[in-house]
Amino acid sequence: MKKVKAAKKKKFFLKKKIFWIFFLSMLVLASGLYAFLFWEKFQIKEVRMMGEENELSSSVRSFVEERMGEFSWTGSIFLFNGSLIEEGLGKEFPEIKKISVEKTIPDTLNIFIEERKEAALWNFASEFYSMDEEGIIFRITEEVENIPVILDMEYTGLPCLGDKVIDEEKLAGVLSISRGIEDIGRMELEKMIILNGKRLNAVMQEGWEVYFNLEEDLAWQITKLKLLMQEEISLERRETLEYIDLRFEKAFYK
């Protein structure tokens, strides 16, 4: 008698409408989830670089395509982790300043990158690094003309691409000195040496130097230098010139 009752209960349960509604709902959900994860239509098929096509954009595209599984384990555009790829690209390509990834349904990724712009060359040991206005080094390069060279005697670390090696505010002051010397004319700057927190020596290609105080008014120091070069220091005098010191109220030279 007990077995007959159990069978009747089971048969009765299977006839209930709520069971079939639940079953069909789960089936639809499972089908939708499968399409969400594995349907070919939503698999990423194209990585599109927005903006100028160059060597960097080609490298970024290849990097994303080769490591697609790390950013979307099924290849579905819905599961693609944009934040993860932005972080990965930032580490792999220090020359990238900003990264933005957008999805275009059903199967395309649009990647926007902004490259760092070289503001100066940072000299460490025998190496030269391209450095942007934020003080971040992003590429090993060679010394070239018309690009300010900065040697920081205070730096004691081991540089890695992507590192911020100089304070942004201090760098702005150093670059203003470079531009000021260029505007005066008749002088060719070889490099700028930061000796301590406030002293900078600008070394000219002729061998003589100009001493600046980075914590004082740099515009006024450049003005004093301009007046000296126009009114007191002739081309002939520069042949024996050793230095010009602008760190004090009155400028000195020898």
End-to-end C-alpha distance for the chain, whole angstroms: 120
**Average of per-residue pLDDT values in the chain:** 85
Highest mean pLDDT pick, 35-44, 72-81, 190-199, 215-224: 215-224
Predicted confidence (pLDDT) at residue 8 exceeds the cutoff of 60 = no
Residues in the chain: 254
Whole-number percent of the chain with pLDDT over 70: 82
Residues sharing a CB contact under 8 Å with residue 42, sequence separation 6 or more, in sequence order: 35, 36, 76, 77, 78, 105, 106, 107
Helix axes 168-184, 218-231, angle to 10 degrees: 20
Candidate from 73-77, 124-128, 214-218 with smallest mean pLDDT: 73-77
Q: H helices within the chain, ranges in order?
A: 2-14, 17-38, 55-66, 68-71, 82-92, 168-184, 218-231
For residues 89 and 5, what is the distance between their CA atoms, to the nearest angstrom? 66
Report pLDDT digits (tens) over 54-96: 889 899 988 888 877 766 656 677 777 778 888 888 889 999 9
> Which candidate, 130, 141, 215, 142, places its Cα nearest to that of 177?
215
Strands of 73-205, DSSP E: 96-104, 108-115, 120-124, 127-131, 137-141, 149-152, 189-194, 199-204
Predicted pLDDT at 10: 52
Specify the higher pLDDT residue, 3 or 38. 38
Q: Give the up-direction half-sphere exposure of residue 142: CA atoms within 13 A in the CB hemisphere.
A: 2
Q: Which of 236, 232, 238 is nearest to 251 (CA)?
A: 232
Q: Which residues, listed in sequence order, are joined to residue 203 by a DSSP beta bridge? A: 191, 209
Distance CA 208, CA 202 (A): 9
Q: Tell which wins on pLDDT, 70 or 43.
A: 43
Mean pLDDT of 127-137: 96
Vertex 144 angle, CA 141 and 145, to 5°: 160
